[in-house]
């Protein structure tokens, strides 16, 4: 179903994010027939391009990042016809009058801030000053949203000077992933799980986001951030919220975000001995270690973090949430595992072993869900129990139509045009998440802690294994 006609201005339209994610996502939605004829995409950046030069940049980006036959077809020319460009200086006067002149009445106006956060305030102020935004206009802002509570608050205040909260779309692209939305469908669309979804039946929950890549070319930024700021405070926190929140009364932006906020506010401070930070080491001279990659030989920034969190509320009191994320690990894998308690009594005797159901929700790769159930081992060997997976890989279960999930950005950008904020972070959520993370960061900084080394291609530092072993538990395998 096509969305309403729109003018989407991409500030930073020549940058890496625009070329790699935003423009390819828009192109795919165009190919899917979701973009109405009147839709227009206006690149706006500092580079002195003409519209034709920018169209060539867009063509090249689509060929590189979408590739295949799609990008060579007539569709590409149809898409490029909707592209325009204005040279704009976020900190100066150049280009603003021209941009104002291009905006059309009767269209949704959306402004994507795909530039450094230091420019957000300048952009907001100039959009306002030049009368480019209407009351229905939307702005989209990327991560990182602040570096701590104080900077996030300052950013929220700056944006609030010119835009209402209902106009601000803070992207966390994890929320645009199909399986993440499925998490809500599974929890609230089935009778099966929700009655068991509490500390009475759930032993613990694990959230793992493992990457095989290192810091690559982002070393300078990453070394100031680390895994806590880059992944834990935002992406893993959002997953935690969706898995732990109370059922909202309806699937409505503020109803959902109110429940997520309550989860964050109910999080206890994490004790220092429940945090493990790691830093990857060089592997056989083939890949550089973290410090070399980050260009900081004395860096004490973590490329890995694991922690044990507690949510102090009626539903979750006593159920630990183990969260971990890191770079240069053995496999690329994002999984949430809900580990249920053992049956209270085994009628099959001690030799049958203890067995627990585990519901695993795989975000990547092979998006899908597995429920580990216990059955009788086949054969005449008596009543021996064995665990088998009830496996639903979406690609197999839903066929080619449902099996090729759209990129998170496709879903999120279309939601901006539709005016649906459900999958975007609200300002108070972001602030609450920083309020949880800040004391941990301040603590390890004050104690002068150095991250534990771990081998590239491993599952992370051994201390993270101990974090669970101490509790008589173990991480589920990353592979
Ligand atoms: P980039 O450096 O590749 O591009 C920056 C863009 O901003 C360019 O188009 C440049 O022309 C424009 N720009 C710079 N100064 C300007 C000014 N004064 N006036 C107008 N335009 C100006 O950066 P990027 O990697 O595309 O990242 C953009 C934003 O998205 C950053 O906030 C970044 O943290 C965030 N982000 C990027 C990625 C990614 O994968 N690249 C992922 C998540 C978030």
Residue 478 lies in a domain: no
Using a 6 Å cutoff on CB, does residue 14 contact ligand 1? yes
Does residue 254 contact residue 422 with C-beta atoms inside 8 Å?
no
Residues 348, 442: one domain?
Answer: yes
Cα–Cα distance for residue pair 385/374, rounded to 1 Å: 6
Is residue 421 situated within a structural domain?
Answer: no
Asked if 463 and 374 sit in the same domain, the reply is yes
Residue with CA nearest ligand 1 atom 31: 116
Same domain, yes or no, for 123 and 227? no
143 annotated to bind ligand: yes
Same domain, 230 and 326: yes
Give yes or no for residue 276 having a pLDDT over 80: yes
pLDDT tens per residue, range 400-423: 555 567 889 999 999 999 999 999
Give the number of domains in the chain.
2
Which CATH number characterizes residue 116's domain? 3.40.50.720
User: Could you tell me if 138 and 180 lie in one domain?
Assistant: no
How many angstroms separate the CA atoms of 89 and 44, rounded?
9
Q: Is residue 415 part of a domain?
A: no
Answer yes or no: do 257 and 118 share one domain.
no
Parallel/antiparallel/unpaired status of strands 168-170 and 40-45 = unpaired
Which ipTM score applies to this complex? 0.98
The answer, yes or no, to whether residue 85 has pLDDT greater than 70, is yes
Span 441-459, pLDDT tens digits: 999 999 999 999 999 999 9
* DSSP per residue, 141-198: EPSP--SSHHHHHHHHHHHHTTS-GGGEEE--GGGGSHHHHHHHHHHHH-TTTGGG-S
- Tokens 């999930």 belong to 405
User: 131: exposed, middle or buried (C-beta count within 10 Å: 0-12, 13-18, 19+)?
Assistant: exposed
Instruction: Check whether 88 has a pLDDT greater than 80.
Output: yes
Residues 244 and 327 in one domain: yes
Together in a domain, 293 and 227: yes
Do residues 4 and 35 lie in contact, with contact meaning Cβ atoms separated by under 8 Å? no
- Cα-based angle 392, 67, 287 (whole degrees, multiple of 5): 75
- Residues 28-40: pLDDT tens digits? 999 999 999 999 9
**H or E stretch covering 281:** strand 275-281
Of 46, 93, 115, 216, which is best to mutate to test ligand 1, by the most ligand atoms within 8 angstroms of its C-beta? 115
Are 26 and 82 contained in the same domain? yes
C-alpha separations of 458 from 60, 211, 305, 366 in Å: 37, 11, 14, 21
Measured in residues, the chain has a length of 479
Domain for residue 1, yes or no? no
Neighbour-count burial of 284, counting CB atoms closer than 10 A to its CB (0-12 exposed, 13-18 middle, 19+ buried): exposed
Q: Tell me the pLDDT of the chain averaged across its residues.
A: 93
Q: Which CATH number do you get for residue 370?
A: 3.30.360.10
Structural domain that includes position 112: 6-142
Q: Residue 452, annotated ligand binder?
A: no
User: Is residue 381 very low, low, confident or very high in pLDDT (cuts 50, 70, 90)?
Assistant: confident
* Lowest pLDDT segment from 47-51, 178-182, 242-246, 454-458: 178-182
Q: What is the rounded average pLDDT of the residues 248-256? A: 96
Provide, rounded to the nearest whole percent, the portion of the chain with pLDDT above 70: 97
Cα(250)–Cα(239) distance, integer angstroms? 19
Does 90 contact ligand 1 (Cβ within 6 A)?
yes
CA 430 / ligand 1 centre spacing (Å) = 21
Instruction: Report if residue 412 sits inside a domain.
Output: no
d(CA 18, ligand 1 centre) in Å: 8
Asked if the structure places residue 106 within a domain, the reply is yes
- Among all residues, which ones are annotated catalytic? 235
Please give the distance, rounded to the nearest whole angstrom, from the Cα atom of residue 24 to the centre of ligand 1.
Answer: 16
In sign, the C-alpha dihedral spanning 183, 189, 193, 197 is: positive
Q: Return phi, psi of residue 361, to 5°.
A: -115, 110
Summarize pLDDT for 216-234 with one digit per residue, the tens: 888 999 999 999 999 999 9
Q: In the predicted model, is pLDDT for residue 366 greater than 70?
A: yes
Domain assignment present for residue 153? The answer is no
The answer to whether residue 414 is domain-embedded is: no
| Residue predicted with more confidence, 181 or 170 | 170
- Looking at residue 384, its pLDDT comes to 85
Cis peptide, bond prior to residue 144, ω within 30 of zero: yes
Q: Are residues 106 and 179 in the same domain?
A: no
């Amino acid at each position: 179903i096509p969305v309403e006609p729109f003018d989407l201005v991409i500030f930073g339209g020549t940058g890496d994010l625009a070329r790699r994610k935003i423009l390819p996502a828009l192109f795919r939605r165009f190919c899917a027939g979701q973009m109405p004829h009147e839709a227009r995409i206006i690149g706006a950046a500092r580079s002195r391009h003409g519209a034709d030069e920018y169209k060539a940049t867009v063509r090249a980006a689509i060929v590189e990042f979408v590739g295949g036959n799609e990008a060579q077809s007539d569709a590409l020319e149809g898409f490029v016809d909707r592209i325009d460009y204005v040279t704009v200086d976020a900190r100066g006067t150049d280009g603003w009058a021209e941009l104002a002149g291009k905006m059309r009445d009767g269209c949704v106006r959306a402004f994507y801030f795909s530039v450094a956060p230091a420019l957000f305030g300048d952009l907001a102020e100039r959009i306002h000053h030049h009368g480019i935004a209407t009351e229905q206009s939307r702005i989209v802002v990327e991560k990182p949203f602040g570096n701590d509570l104080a900077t996030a608050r300052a950013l929220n205040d700056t944006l609030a000077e010119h835009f209402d909260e209902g106009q601000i779309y803070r992207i966390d692209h994890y929320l645009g992933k199909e399986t993440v939305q499925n998490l809500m469908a599974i929890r609230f669309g089935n009778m099966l799980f929700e009655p068991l979804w509490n500390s009475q039946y759930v032993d613990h929950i694990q959230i793992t986001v493992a990457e095989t890549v290192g810091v690559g070319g982002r070393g300078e930024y990453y070394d100031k951030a680390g895994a806590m700021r880059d992944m834990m405070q935002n992406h893993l926190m959002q997953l935690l919220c969706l898995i732990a929140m109370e059922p909202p009364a309806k699937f409505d932006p503020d109803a959902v975000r109110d429940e997520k906020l309550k989860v964050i506010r109910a999080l206890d401070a994490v004790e220092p001995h429940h945090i493990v930070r790691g830093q990857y080491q060089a592997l056989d001279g083939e890949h550089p270690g973290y410090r070399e990659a980050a260009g900081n030989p004395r860096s004490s920034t973590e490329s890995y973090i694991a922690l044990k969190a507690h949510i102090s509320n009626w539903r979750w009191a006593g159920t630990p949430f183990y969260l971990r994320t890191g770079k240069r690990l053995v496999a690329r894998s994002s999984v949430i595992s809900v580990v249920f308690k053992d049956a209270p009594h085994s009628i099959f005797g001690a030799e049958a072993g203890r067995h627990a159901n585990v519901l695993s929700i795989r975000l990547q790769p092979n998006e899908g869900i597995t429920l580990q159930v216990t059955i009788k081992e086949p054969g005449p060997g008596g009543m021996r129990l064995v665990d088998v997976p009830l496996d639903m890989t979406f690609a197999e279960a839903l066929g080619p139509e449902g099996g090729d999930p759209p990129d998170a950005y496709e879903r999120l950008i279309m939601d901006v045009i539709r005016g649906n904020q459900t999958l975007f972070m609200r300002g108070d959520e972001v602030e609450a998440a920083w309020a949880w993370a800040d004391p941990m960061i301040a603590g390890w900084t004050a104690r002068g802690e150095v991250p534990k080394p771990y081998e590239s291609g491993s599952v992370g530092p051994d201390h993270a294994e101990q974090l669970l072993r101490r509790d008589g538990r173990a991480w589920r395998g990353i592979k």
